[in-house]
Amino acid sequence: MATEKTQYDDFIVKGFIISALVWGVASMTFGVIIAFQLVYPQLNFELPWTSFGRLRPLHTNAAIFGFALSVIFATAYHTVQRLCRTRMWNDTLSKIHLALYNLSIVLAAITLPLGYSQSKEYAELEWPIDLLIVVWYVIFFANYLMTVIKRKEEQMYVAIWFYIASFVTVPLLFIVNNIVIPAGFLKSYSVYAGVFDANIQWWYGHNAVAFVLTTPFLGLMYYYLPKHIKQPIYSHRLSIIHFWSLIFIYIWAGPHHLLYSPIPEWLQTTGMVFSIMLWMPSWGGMLNGFLTLTQAKDKIKVDATLKMMLAAVTFYGMSTFEGPLLSIRAVSALGHNTDWIIGHVHSGTLGWVGFMSAAALYYLVPRLWNSNLYSEKLANAHFWLGTLGILLYIISMWVSGITEGSMWRAVGENGELVYKDWVEIVEFLKPFRLFRAIGGTLYLTGIILMVYNFIKTIQNKDSGFVEQDLRIGVKS
């Protein structure tokens, strides 16, 4: 009988794991730098390529499309082979994908600090890099789809459905939003204008969060959570309902980013209504995760990976409650463009995406390199540093954001603004933003501990991996 190592292509999974670790440390380091720049402006160093305006898109692109996408690709390659019981359709295409993908991230890291940008949220990269992305994405998706088509397992588990939904929708969003007229090698102009441009941008921007930072990580949860605890998902039926309702509703929620803007009021209302409807499928998935976790609740105290999965599902529930809440006009009037939105975004990215990514990596690294994790204590330290960092981050941003919105709106008895000087508000918010920077530093420290833990684990490769059975507490 062929062994799993010869049957499956795990080289490509390892490659994307290493990419995730590199871009994860880089993106979060830049995030900490720009967080401190907001408190201490002198850290901009009066250099254009080290300014907040240049480093902020570098941070978001490296975090979303460097770290998160690396995790998505690593887990997609790992899960599809095992759930379909077949090797990737073409190993060479996988390697080309890995190389061109990392080339595109490197080019982004060079061009963004130099100021080459389309100035569109989550879509800053100029047209030559966009074309490169299209090339490697087609290579990846053809390889992935052919692997599914030639599968030996007839039934497709729900995790694959979540991945496929992501991989079908992302190119649609990416291509429509990035149609431009080139005006030079690194300069272009969007074919859209005015409110139409804004609506296309936030249809893309919101659904980049939906189909990059949500649906593939739900696929990841539905595979690695039951695999880790060696128990089936609580409800397969609920997972199917979760899938179809989520992908139908999510795509229409983008206009809630444009409340009180010149786009038609009916469109704003549509975005708000669909956002509120998202509560149902999102919490259905959260409950499915929680109820699955209850089958191994006794082990949460001692298993860092399980703690991260629990925290991730918790933050998924929190952020998917907060998002629809912020889409309501009255709430948006207070929170829009304030630090509250920053706290909301990072509740999802650090709590849901970050912890679920870390849990998947803690699951994969020992198994792929055939070595027990170097230190469970370091993994637990990572969890607690990350949790404390997230809480400092989001609580400070909640307080800062609500304070900020209230100060913007404050009107005196004579009808004039109480705080006419914007800088006065900025100075008042400095302590909250300092706590945010400290929280981000704690989270980054946890990530660095994880990378060190993995380096030591990999150095001990092929020493033999012994899996702990979380159901009965004995080695299997």
> For 136-180, how does the pLDDT look when each residue is reduced to its tens digit (9 = 90+)?
999 999 999 999 999 999 999 999 999 999 999 999 999 999 999
Is the alpha carbon torsion for 440, 446, 452, 454 positive or negative? negative
Question: Hey, what amino acid is at 444?
Answer: L
Query: Cα(276)–Cα(272) distance, rounded to whole angstroms?
Result: 6
The C-alpha angle with vertex 319 and arms to 315 and 323, in degrees rounded to 5, equals: 175
Look at residue 2 in the predicted model and tell me its pLDDT. Answer: 44
Q: Is the pLDDT of residue 5 over 60?
A: no
**Cα radius of gyration rounded to whole Å, the chain:** 22
* Burial class, 151, CB count within 10 angstroms (exposed 0-12 / middle 13-18 / buried 19+): middle
What is the percentage of the chain residues whose pLDDT exceeds 70?
97
Query: Cα(454)–Cα(186) distance, rounded to whole angstroms?
Result: 38
> What's the full length of the chain, in residues?
476
Token pair, residue 389, equals 């960092």
Token pair, residue 402, equals 């609500």
- Average confidence (pLDDT) over 440-461: 97
Contact 378, 425 (CB under 8 A): no
Contact 153, 85 (CB under 8 A): yes
Question: Hey, what amino acid is at 198?
Answer: A
Look at residue 194 in the predicted model and tell me its pLDDT. Answer: 92
- Average confidence (pLDDT) over 380-401: 98
Look at residue 442 in the predicted model and tell me its pLDDT. Answer: 98
For residue 236, say whether it is annotated as part of any ligand binding site: no
Look at residue 265 in the predicted model and tell me its pLDDT. Answer: 94
Q: Is the pLDDT of residue 475 over 50?
A: no
Task: Give a yes or no: residue 157 inside a domain.
Answer: yes
Look at residue 276 in the predicted model and tell me its pLDDT. Answer: 96
Task: Give a yes or no: residue 474 inside a domain.
Answer: no
Query: Cα(124)–Cα(57) distance, rounded to whole angstroms?
Result: 7
**Residue range of the domain that includes 45:** 10-460
pLDDT tens column, 7-49: 899 999 999 999 999 999 999 999 999 999 999 999 998 889 9
Q: Please, which pLDDT band fits residue 4 given cuts at 50, 70 and 90? A: very low
For residue 344, say whether it is annotated as part of any ligand binding site: yes
- What is the chain's mean pLDDT, rounded? 94
Q: Please, which pLDDT band fits residue 410 given cuts at 50, 70 and 90? A: very high
pLDDT tens column, 38-86: 999 999 988 899 999 999 999 999 999 999 999 999 999 999 999 999 9
215 phi and psi, to 5 degrees?
Answer: -60, -45
Nearest CA-CA partner of 335 in 323, 348, 350, 346: 323
Task: Give a yes or no: residue 473 inside a domain.
Answer: no
Q: Please, which pLDDT band fits residue 219 given cuts at 50, 70 and 90? A: very high
Q: Which residues are within 8 A (CB) of 156 and not within 5 positions of it... i.e. 6 or more apart?
A: 83, 84, 148
Look at residue 447 in the predicted model and tell me its pLDDT. Answer: 98
Question: Hey, what amino acid is at 280?
Answer: M
| Cβ density class 394-405: b for 16+ within 10 Å, e for less | bbbbbbbbbbbb
Nearest CA-CA partner of 19 in 138, 81, 102, 75: 102
The DSSP symbol for 41 reads G
The DSSP symbol for 314 reads H
> For the domain that residue 215 is a member of, what is the CATH number?
1.20.210.10
Look at residue 472 in the predicted model and tell me its pLDDT. Answer: 45
Question: Hey, what amino acid is at 438?
Answer: I
Task: Give a yes or no: residue 469 inside a domain.
Answer: no
What is the number of structural domains in the chain?
1
Task: Give a yes or no: residue 5 inside a domain.
Answer: no
| Cβ density class 332-369: b for 16+ within 10 Å, e for less | bebbbebbbbbbbbbbbbbbbbbbbbbbbbbbbbbebb
Other beta carbons less than 10 A from residue 23's beta carbon: 25
Q: Is the pLDDT of residue 469 over 70?
A: no
Query: Cα(302)–Cα(292) distance, rounded to whole angstroms?
Result: 18
Look at residue 299 in the predicted model and tell me its pLDDT. Answer: 87
Q: Please, which pLDDT band fits residue 476 given cuts at 50, 70 and 90? A: very low
Query: Cα(239)–Cα(226) distance, rounded to whole angstroms?
Result: 13
Query: Cα(468)–Cα(476) distance, rounded to whole angstroms?
Result: 6
What is the percentage of the chain residues whose pLDDT exceeds 90?
91
Helical spans, DSSP H, in 46-157? 52-61, 69-84, 91-111, 127-149
188 DSSP β-pair partners? 182
Task: Give a yes or no: residue 3 inside a domain.
Answer: no
Question: Hey, what amino acid is at 430?
Answer: K
Give 419's Cβ-side CA count (13 Å radius).
15
Weakest mean pLDDT among 63-72, 188-197, 462-471: 462-471
pLDDT tens column, 345-387: 999 999 999 999 999 999 999 999 999 999 999 999 999 999 9
The DSSP symbol for 470 reads T
Task: Give a yes or no: residue 129 inside a domain.
Answer: yes
Q: Is the pLDDT of residue 444 over 60?
A: yes
Contact 234, 474 (CB under 8 A): no
Task: Give a yes or no: residue 470 inside a domain.
Answer: no
Q: Is the pLDDT of residue 340 over 70?
A: yes
Indicate the helix (H) or strand (E) that contains 475.
strand 474-475
pLDDT tens column, 202-214: 999 999 999 999 9
